[in-house]
Structure 1
Amino acid sequence: MNKKMIKSVSTIFIFSILLILSSCDNKPKKADKKEAEKEVAKTVYPSDVIPFFDHWKLILGDGTNAGIANNFENKDFFYATNDKKEDWVVFKSPNGGNTHGTSNNTRTELAQVKKWYPKTANDKLTATLKVMNVSATGDARVAASHAVVVGQIHSADKHENEPLKIFYKKYPGHTKGSVFWHYEINTAGEDNSGRWDYSYAVWGDDFSVVGTDANTPPEEPKDGIALDEEFSYEIEVKDGIMNLKFTSEGHETKTFTKNLIESEYTTKDDIPEQTRKLFGPLGQDGVERKEAYAGEGCFFKLGTYNQTNGKSPEVNRNWCSGAETHGGDVKKQYADGNYAEVWFKTASITISSNSVSNDGYFSKNDLLYQKEAKH
């Protein structure tokens, strides 16, 4: 081999080595891979965990309407997490702060973008969840203290009352809390001030079981549900009838049926004893329309609707908890346990062909929030 050929081969060999080294330098380092994996983990949104957010608008714990929450998170109120076994969607809401619409309570909650009519409905909502925190403070005599609503049916029309609210409630110092649900009458006439709820126990006590004084809770329920303990609910409304099913491992399955288009509370004599004791002293002793919720558009809600607030119990012994709110400072409330937090693992919704847009409800209540926020 002559010198020119040797030189040419050497040049090609060196060039090849340089290309290989250059290629190696361009490969991602192990540290870079780890950083990339961390970045991917940060982008898991609630809509990746439960992919049904096209059907809802999200109201946050500061009263704002976040709209359709696909690929959205808010670390104060709404985000995805993992409990080392599986992914969950976190809904979190303080005791005090700006609220949406006419409510006295904060919420981080999904509200259905369509409404349906009970008489022609064939609509269903299911969810599996666990409550992680309820307010650390609150007057024990107030029925709503230490409680959170985790699912609802809400009317979009007339009084905007609620034929269904599913509660979880646990007093400080107790290991077990209670799950119960409410039916709120759709009050007859134009005056809604006489409206009241009737409470049905699922596991543990109903809403009416309260403490003997501000700092003394009732006895702990024997068949209750603990924080961080999973349970599921199914809500189905078909042809005017609401069917409910509650399940939890180690607990008896409970089912309930309620007619939403024919009232059982049309006269004063029909008012249940539980209601007379709980709401009667407050002057809430109205009667219901004969047709109940027939003719009104209804819609589902799901999330964390905190029932504990800072309003004085002297105003209303059922709903005004007198809890700590730190003047609405969210970080301070979260630091000392004055908030509600619920994690959802799965959920599904079935929407009937008779459903229509619910935009009117959102327009009205968004405007009320905007007016209140200015003051």
Structure 2
Amino acid sequence: MNKKIIISGATFLFLSISLILTSCTNTAKKTNTSTSLSTSEVEVQKTVYASDVIPFFDHWKLILGDGSNAGVVNNFENKDFFYTANDGSNNWVVYKAPNSGDTHGTSNNTRTELAQAKKWSPLTDAKLTATLKVTNVSSTGDARVAASYSVVVGQIHSADGHENEPLKIFYKKFPGHTKGSIFWNYEINTLGDDNSGRWDYSSAVWGNNFSVVGTDENTYPEEPIDGIALGEEFSYEIEVKDGIMNLKFISEGHETKSFTKNLIESEYTTTTNIPKQTQNLFVPIGQDGVERKNAYASEGLFFKLGSYNQTNGKSPEVNKVWCSGAETHGGDIQKQYEDGNYAEVWFKTASIYVSDAAVSNDGYFIKND
């Protein structure tokens, strides 16, 4: 049997007030929930680490611009030297190194740079790729010095013997120029126990090669027509297979460039083979060695990547190829950052591959430059 429910006026008034109070309570809860979401959103804006942007840091150890060894840098940042930044479209990994500070090993130059943790044979397979942009090079230096205003953004380094470098990829831009140059250097693996005669041979990618310098301290060569500006993106690919190094350079609006270099058979075994570029740049300072016939065939190699600042404060009178005489503020890093005396490189992507057969059983971390 259905029963009618009769609500008195007093009861109706009580229920109405209750509903109003309940409605206010819900509104208050919604306000609190909104506040909670806002806090949550702030919490979501946590640190983006380099290993979140380019997840390959298990394969590397990092040296910072103060000479310290940060080791494997998953979930790591250092706001002075190694951190991430967003340009409005992408996250990038930033490597920053002043003109002067504590350096690593025997090098004259500071670096914030990764060194691959394992060495490999040039007779097998290894590959490194990267997409990057250089955002700053030193604002001071001596224009006659080839290393002034430049930074190395990728390397192959030897882990054995003289520990020389079969590959260094440079970016260099003179003050007042809009465009800079990309070039790569091959350093000979010097014959004999004395490595003081080692020298580089440089190949231009876009713009000039390493040997193009100013006529005096503050006079610069002409700006390269086909150069790369600060902040302009480019990519490199380095592949070593069966002793042959293949390089590829790509940048939108520029011709793609490819190069090949034999790493296990030298073309510089006699003084008559020394290129004219080297005769003009290195021979006058006594660096006139020859290379061992098998070049780097018997040595373990490893990749490097980052910002290896080539501009330092040492006097050009010591070495007019590598000593830049740049401003260092007595090693004060923050003052160098304030007036542009540093090198900064942003990496958007990078990848590494080394075949299992190529990897040495012995771990290796860089001991000098």
Instruction: Name the TM-score, length of structure 1 as normaliser.
Output: 0.90
**What is the aligned partner in structure 1 of residue 109 from structure 2?**
105
| Contact 1:93/1:304, CA 8 A, preserved across alignment | yes
Report the residue type matching 1:40 in the other structure.
V
Deviation at 1:360, TM superposition (A): 3.9
Q: Give the 3-state SS of the residue equivalent to 2:212 in structure 1.
A: coil
Residues 128-207 of structure 1: pairs in structure 2 closer than 5 A: 128-207=131-210
Contact persistence 1:113–1:358 (CA under 8 A): no
Q: What is the SS of the residue equivalent to 1:361?
A: coil
Cα 1:289–1:176 change in 2 (3 A) is: same
Q: Is the 8 Å Cα contact of residues 62 and 98 (structure 1) preserved in structure 2?
A: yes
CA distance in 2, matches of 1:318, 1:35: 55
Q: Does 2:81 align with 1:85?
A: no
Matched, 1:304 2:327: no
The equivalences for 1:229-244 within 5 A come to 229-244=232-247
Taking the aligned partners of 1:39 and 1:17, their CA distance within structure 2 comes to: 30
CA distance in 1, matches of 2:38, 2:31: 17
Equivalent residue for 1:68, pick from 51, 72, 77: 72
Measure, in 2, the Cα distance between the counterparts of 1:278 and 1:34. Answer: 62
> Is the alpha carbon distance of 1:182 and 1:2 closer, same or farther for their aligned partners in structure 2, counting shifts above 3 Å?
closer
Distance 1:34 1:278 in 2: 62
Say if 1:139 and 1:43 are closer, same or farther in 2 by CA, change over 3 A.
Answer: same
Aligned to 1:226: 229
SS at match of 1:118: coil
Q: Which amino acid aligns with 1:356?
A: S
Distance, in Å, in 1 between the alignment partners of 2:299 and 2:199 is 18
Residue 290 of structure 1 is matched in structure 2 by 293
Letter of the 1:161 counterpart: N
1:158 Cα offset (Å): 1.2
Cα distance in 1 for partners of 2:26, 2:181 equals 67
Partner of 1:316: 319
Kindly indicate whether the alpha-carbon contact (under 8 Å) linking 1:154 and 1:299 is maintained by their aligned counterparts in 2. Answer: yes
What SS does the aligned partner of 2:45 have? helix
* Separation in structure 2 between the aligned mates of residue 15 and residue 34 of structure 1, nearest angstrom: 26
1:45 — aligned with what? 49
Matching of residue 27 in structure 1 with residue 33 in structure 2: yes
Secondary structure of the residue aligned to 2:365 is helix
Alpha-carbon separation, structure 2, partners of 1:17 and 1:250: 63
Which residue of structure 1 lines up, in the alignment, with residue 3 of structure 2? none
State the distance in 1 between where 2:213 and 2:329 align: 25
Say which SS state the counterpart of residue 331 (structure 1) adopts.
helix
Alignment-mate amino acid for residue 57 of structure 1 = K
Question: Which SS does the other structure have where 1:302 is aligned?
Answer: strand
Q: TM-score, normalised by structure 2?
A: 0.92
Whole-angstrom distance in 1 between the partners of 2:65 and 2:210: 24
Percent sequence identity over aligned pairs: 72
Alpha carbons of 1:329 and 1:51: their partners in 2 closer, same or farther (altered >3 Å)?
same
* The one of 209, 220, 244 aligned to 2:212: 209
CA-CA distance at 1:359 after TM superposition: 3.4
SS at match of 1:168: strand
Deviation at 1:46, TM superposition (A): 1.1
Structure 1, unpaired ranges of 5+: 369-375
Report the Cα distance in structure 1 between the residues aligned to 2:38 and 2:195, rounded to whole angstroms. Answer: 59
The answer to whether residue 368 in structure 2 is matched with residue 352 in structure 1 is no
3-state secondary structure, aligned to 1:258: strand
User: Which residue identity does 1:239 align to in structure 2?
Assistant: D
- Unaligned runs of at least 5 residues, structure 2: 1-5
CA drift of 1:25 comes to: 6.2
Closer, same or farther in 2 for the Cα pair 1:12/1:304, shift >3 Å? same
CA contact (8 A) 1:113 1:357 kept: no
Structure 2: distance between partners of 1:35 and 1:332: 37
Please tell me whether the aligned partners of residues 156 and 358 of structure 1 are also in contact (alpha carbons under 8 angstroms).
Answer: no
SS in 1 for 2:84: strand
Please state whether the residue corresponding to 1:214 is helix, strand or coil. Answer: coil
> Is the contact between residue 129 and residue 232 of structure 1 (CA under 8 Å) also seen in structure 2?
yes
